[in-house]
Structure formats: structure tokens, C-alpha cells
């Protein structure tokens, strides 16, 4: 956790910081991150839905820091996918 904090404290880009936090907090694999859509992020519930081909979706509870960062990122960039 300390190593992660040292890395992200040097990141100033909102998108990069939000995606780093999301990847770390949700334990995402690279292919899961690449295939995420904004609709998979349920910010009001603080849940990320990870859809995997041929498998049941996986749901991950997100902490408030990640929810706030993702909310800020979505409002600033208005992405459809990540």
C-alpha cells in the first residue's frame, strides 16, 4: 500500500490517477480494465461490475476515495469506455 501511494502521489493527470486507483482497489487484471465501460461503474452504490466473457459478472465494492476519483474523472472527461 505504501509503494502504491508513493507512485500515485506523482501522478497529476485525473484520468491516470483515477484508473490507477480503480485498478489497485478492485484488483483488476489488465484485460478487465481494458474492457470496462462506464455503465459497469455503479457510483451511487459504490460497486464495480466486471463482466468477463463466458463467466458470471464479478462485483467489487469500491471505497469512497475511488468513488470520488471516478466521479470526478467521469464528469471531467465524459468517457464511454476507459
6: left (phi over 0), alpha (psi -120 to 50) or beta: alpha
pLDDT digits (tens, 9 = 90+) for 13-50: 999 999 999 999 999 999 999 999 999 999 999 999 99
Rounded to whole angstroms, the Cα distance separating 10 from 62 reads: 22
Q: Write out the E strands in 4-64.
A: 41-42, 47-50, 58-61
22 by Cβ neighbours in 10 Å (0-12 / 13-18 / 19+) ranks as buried
Q: What is the pLDDT of residue 81?
A: 83
pTM: 0.88
pLDDT at 9 over 90: yes
Amino acid at each position: 500500500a505504501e509503494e502504491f501511494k508513493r507512485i500515485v502521489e506523482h501522478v497529476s493527470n485525473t484520468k491516470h490517477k483515477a484508473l490507477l486507483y480503480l485498478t489497485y482497489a478492485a484488483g483488476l487484471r489488465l484485460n478487465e480494465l481494458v474492457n470496462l465501460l462506464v455503465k459497469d461503474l455503479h457510483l451511487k452504490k459504490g460497486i464495480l461490475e466486471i463482466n468477463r466473457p463466458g463467466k458470471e459478472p464479478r462485483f467489487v465494492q469500491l471505497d469512497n476515495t475511488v468513488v470520488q476519483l471516478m466521479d470526478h474523472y467521469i464528469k471531467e472527461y465524459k468517457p464511454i469506455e476507459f
